């Protein structure tokens, strides 16, 4: 055991934040601390690091242990560049390296015993350099910076010019490379894209020290931790497993506790009835028996009712207006800013009722793409069109457009004045605002609560196509589960950006991966996406191995290019095949329409009505013309 805390208690005035917090951490153990926003997780971290003191309880840290701490709001400034800032971690190695260079220069001027002694000192210092892994520090720096999303062109960027998120990533990189025996990471995946989060997962799984993580990223926790410490109602509860294990076991434990509570309540009621009956006999023996049972009842250890979280949403949201089957069609969309190309040749098709995720690295232009669809930005080339009766509802976690002085109830009732009080309470209850919670003032709400109010408003609107930009940002796990439930029960269409892989797994039916050269479609959730990518990586490795065996003289670069060319050709073939199939379907539909027109023209009702017959004949001619155009396109694609 390298760390433990026992019965930690912390209050601010009369408000108790933590009480009876007890757990321990073993060497190399990876643990998570979970709980709703405001549960006291970050406060506990500050107590562990000594930033604040507890009111009572004990903290034990093994002697000589080096502690590393990443806070949510890291203040990180400096005049140096990204690379030089990271390089500071290796100051002892750099000092040795400098001394070795100085000793090498001095060798030429020495001879005899003096040279022999000098060589011995040089050899000892070189051995120390090797023990400190001095030959690999540059590659380690490059590996960590690349993993956290920095390219070599970023190395010379001054720290002071970076955004808050970029500074946090530099600080995290420095922290990881400093290799402390115990890491405390408070929301480490904030400001990271999916690729960087996956890299961090692999890094932490192989990390030699212990790690304690606060995170709302359930997929991330599932991949790393083997112990979950929940803080609920100010107390700690230990679960020996990852997040999924914890969630399942917690549900089982709550049911066991509830069953025990209800069983005890039935027993108490039964005993009270027996006591009342015995006393009603009004005899000495029956009264003594009644008194004996009363004493036994007084000694009984009463179980408290388990404190359940509010029930999650059970409403199904149906848009007031049903859209056409084709909701969004994007073809050849491209966008670049000055000196910064984002994406090109983006094709996207979304049908009614689909839940579609858009993923890709930071800076690729995901939010810009959504803004183009919303008319906020203009595309450089390409087209997009919305289907019939499509009404967009846009959700941006950073822009809620609330009146801060209103209550939650007033915000909903003023936006939708035709709703009754009962209807407003029902919708707010679906988003876990019950009782007096509906009278909370907007300005007092947490990020998660504000997000839920926004969701309530958007689901009440006439929207049937929701476009959501990072909807899970700032939401605690419980609020994320509410959003998942809402989207899965929503009968409209949803297109969203998210880096929350657990959320994508629960809600997405299709995934588009945005890249500089287009948007690639994956017909499944995130697990399917990962499986598909892993299979492709294995295929690539196998291809390269076969190419190396068959053509030993072929360079790795040309092998890689030939594999990429093969994959690109396969992608083009699939795209061509899909276009041909689509046109064939349209040809079939046009043929059926023409047959339908012929049948109508043959009926007595139409044959005797010149006006109607002319109208149908005109429609038939237009369809025949369209059919000829389709055949031309089909022949062109076939060639």
- Which residues share a beta bridge with 232? 235
The tens digit of pLDDT for each residue in 146-176 reads 999 898 989 999 988 888 888 889 999 999 9
The pLDDT tens digits of the residues spanning 335-359 come to 998 878 899 999 999 999 999 999 9
Task: Please state, as a whole number, how many other Cβ atoms lie within 10 Å of the Cβ of residue 409.
Answer: 17
Comparing C-alpha atoms, which of 362, 341, 308 is closest to residue 163?
A: 362
Instruction: Bin 274: left if φ > 0, else alpha if -120 < ψ < 50, else beta.
Output: alpha
CA dihedral 611, 616, 620, 622 (to 10 degrees): 70
What does each C-alpha distance from 587 to 388, 615, 624 come to in angstroms? 22, 22, 10
Judged by average pLDDT, the poorest of 170-184, 297-311, 521-535 is 297-311
Query: Does the pLDDT value for residue 274 go beyond 70?
Result: yes
Q: What is the pLDDT of residues 480-490, one digit of tens each?
A: 888 888 888 88
Residue 123 has pLDDT above 80, yes or no: yes
Query: How many Å apart are CA 371 and CA 188, to the nearest integer?
Result: 28
Which stretches of 6-62 are DSSP H helices? 41-49
What are 27-51's pLDDT values in tens digits?
999 999 998 877 899 999 999 999 9
pLDDT above 80: residue 407 = yes
Confidence label for 614 from pLDDT (cuts 50, 70 and 90): confident
Highest averaged pLDDT of the listed ranges 73-77, 250-254, 634-638: 250-254
Token reading at 236 = 């700690």
Q: Using pLDDT thresholds of 50, 70 and 90, give the confidence band for residue 9.
A: very high
Q: Is the pLDDT of residue 554 over 70?
A: no
pLDDT score for 113:
86
Give residue 204's pLDDT: 94
Note the pTM of the prediction, 2 decimals: 0.70
pLDDT, mean of residues 431-459: 83
The larger pLDDT score, comparing residue 456 to residue 334, is at: 334
Which of 313-317, 335-339, 386-390, 460-464 is predicted with the least confidence, judged by mean pLDDT? 313-317
Distance CA 117, CA 97 (A): 19
Contact 169, 192 (CB under 8 A): yes
Provide the pLDDT for residue 628. Answer: 79
- Look at 526 and 479; give whichever has higher pLDDT: 526
Percent over 90 (pLDDT), the chain = 40
Q: What is the pLDDT of residue 408?
A: 92
Structure confidence at residue 135 as a pLDDT band (50, 70, 90): confident
- Model pLDDT for residues 173-203, shown as the tens digit of each residue: 999 999 999 999 999 988 888 889 999 999 9
Q: What is the pLDDT of residue 582?
A: 85
Q: Taking all residues of the chain, what is their mean pLDDT, rounded to a whole number? A: 86
- The residue that leads in pLDDT, 465 or 190, is 465
Which pLDDT does position 558 carry in this prediction? 53
Q: How far apart are the C-alpha atoms of 248 and 240, rounded to whole Å?
A: 12
On the question of pLDDT at 639 being above 70, the answer is no
Beta 182-186 vs 67-70: how paired, if at all?
A: parallel
Please report the pLDDT score of residue 176 as a whole number. 94
Unique residue bearing structure tokens 């690349």: 146
DSSP letter for each residue of 546-591: HHHHH-TTS-HHHHHHHHHHHHHHHHHHHHHHHHHHHHHHHHHHHH
| Helix (DSSP H) and strand (DSSP E) numbers for the chain | 20, 18
pLDDT at position 307, please? Answer: 61
Model pLDDT, residue 309? 52
**Distance between first and last Cα of the chain:** 70
429: Cα within 13 Å, side-chain hemisphere? 11
Q: If you average pLDDT over residues 454-476, what whole number do you get? A: 84
pLDDT of residue 400: 63
pLDDT reported for residue 430: 77
Predicted pLDDT at 205: 92
The pLDDT confidence band at residue 397, using thresholds 50, 70 and 90, is low
The per-residue pLDDT for 368 is 93
Residue 557: its pLDDT value, please? 52
| pLDDT for residue 222 | 93
CA distance linking residue 108 with residue 124, whole number of Å: 19
pLDDT at 68 over 70: yes
Tell me, what's the pLDDT at 331?
93
Q: Which of 54-68, 217-231, 272-286, 564-578 has the lowest mean pLDDT?
A: 564-578
Tell me how far apart the alpha carbons of residues 363 and 340 are, in angstroms, rounded to a whole number: 10
Among 94-108, 197-211, 248-262, the range with the most confident prediction by mean pLDDT is 197-211
pLDDT confidence of residue 556: 54
**Banded model confidence at residue 13, pLDDT cuts 50, 70, 90:** confident
């Amino acid at each position: 055991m390298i760390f433990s805390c026992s019965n930690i208690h912390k209050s601010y005035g009369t408000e108790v934040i933590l009480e009876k917090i007890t757990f321990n951490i073993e060497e190399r153990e990876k643990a998570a601390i979970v709980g709703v926003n405001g549960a006291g997780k970050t406060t506990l971290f500050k107590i562990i690091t000594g930033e604040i003191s507890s009111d009572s309880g004990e903290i034990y840290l093994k002697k000589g242990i080096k502690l590393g701490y990443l806070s949510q709001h890291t203040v990180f400034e400096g005049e140096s560049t990204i690379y030089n800032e990271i390089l500071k971690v290796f100051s002892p190695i750099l000092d040795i390296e400098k001394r070795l260079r100085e000793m090498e220069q001095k060798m030429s001027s020495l001879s005899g015993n003096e040279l022999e002694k000098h060589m011995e000192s040089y050899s000892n210092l070189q051995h120390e350099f090797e023990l400190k892994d001095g030959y690999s520090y540059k590659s380690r720096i490059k590996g960590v910076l690349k993993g956290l999303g920095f390219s070599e062109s970023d190395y010379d960027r001054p720290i002071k010019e970076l955004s808050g998120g970029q500074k946090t990533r530099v600080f995290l990189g420095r922290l990881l490379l400093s290799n402390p025996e115990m890491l405390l990471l408070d929301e480490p995946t904030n400001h990271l894209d999916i690729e960087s989060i996956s890299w961090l997962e692999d890094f932490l799984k192989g990390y030699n020290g212990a790690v304690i993580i606060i995170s709302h990223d359930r997929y991330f926790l599932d991949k790393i931790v083997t112990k979950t410490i929940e803080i609920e109602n100010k107390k700690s509860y230990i679960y020996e497993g990852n997040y999924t294990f914890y969630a399942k076991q917690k549900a089982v434990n709550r049911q066991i506790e509830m069953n025990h509570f209800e069983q005890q309540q039935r027993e108490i009621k039964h005993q009270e009835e027996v006591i009342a009956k015995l006393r009603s006999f009004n005899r000495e023996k029956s009264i003594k028996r009644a008194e004996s049972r009363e004493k036994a009842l007084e000694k009984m250890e009463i179980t408290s009712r388990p404190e359940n979280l509010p029930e999650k949403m059970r409403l199904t949201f149906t848009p007031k207006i049903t859209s056409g089957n084709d909701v969004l069609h994007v073809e050849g969309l491209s966008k670049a800013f000055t000196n910064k190309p984002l994406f090109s040749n983006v094709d996207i098709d979304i049908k009614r009722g689909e839940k579609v995720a858009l993923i890709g690295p930071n800076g690729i232009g995901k939010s810009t793409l959504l803004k183009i669809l919303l008319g906020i930005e203009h595309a450089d080339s390409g087209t997009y069109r919305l289907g019939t009766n499509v009404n967009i509802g846009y959700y941006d976690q950073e822009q809620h457009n609330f009146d801060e002085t209103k209550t939650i109830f007033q915000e909903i009732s003023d936006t939708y004045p035709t709703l009754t009080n009962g209807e407003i309470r029902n919708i707010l209850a679906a988003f876990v605002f019950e009782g007096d919670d509906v009278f909370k003032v907007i300005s007092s709400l947490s990020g998660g609560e504000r997000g839920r109010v926004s969701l309530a408003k958007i689901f009440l609107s006439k929207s049937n196509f929701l476009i959501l930009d990072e909807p899970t940002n700032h939401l605690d796990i419980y609020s994320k589960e509410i959003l998942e439930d809402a989207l899965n029960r929503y009968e409209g269409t949803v297109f969203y950006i998210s880096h929350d892989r657990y959320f994508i797994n629960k809600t997405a039916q299709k995934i588009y991966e945005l890249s500089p050269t287009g948007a690639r479609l994956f017909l499944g959730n995130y697990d399917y996406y990962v499986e598909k990518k892993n299979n492709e990586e294995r295929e690539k490795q196998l291809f390269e191995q076969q190419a190396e065996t068959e053509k030993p003289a072929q360079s790795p670069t040309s092998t890689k290019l030939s594999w990429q060319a093969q994959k690109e050709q396969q992608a083009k073939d699939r795209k061509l095949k899909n276009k041909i199939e689509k046109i064939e379907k349209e040809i079939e539909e046009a043929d059926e329409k023409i047959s339908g027109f012929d049948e109508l023209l043959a009926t007595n009702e139409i044959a005797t009505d010149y006006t109607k017959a002319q109208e149908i004949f005109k429609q038939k001619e237009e369809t025949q013309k369209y059919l000829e155009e389709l055949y031309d396109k089909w022949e062109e694609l076939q060639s």
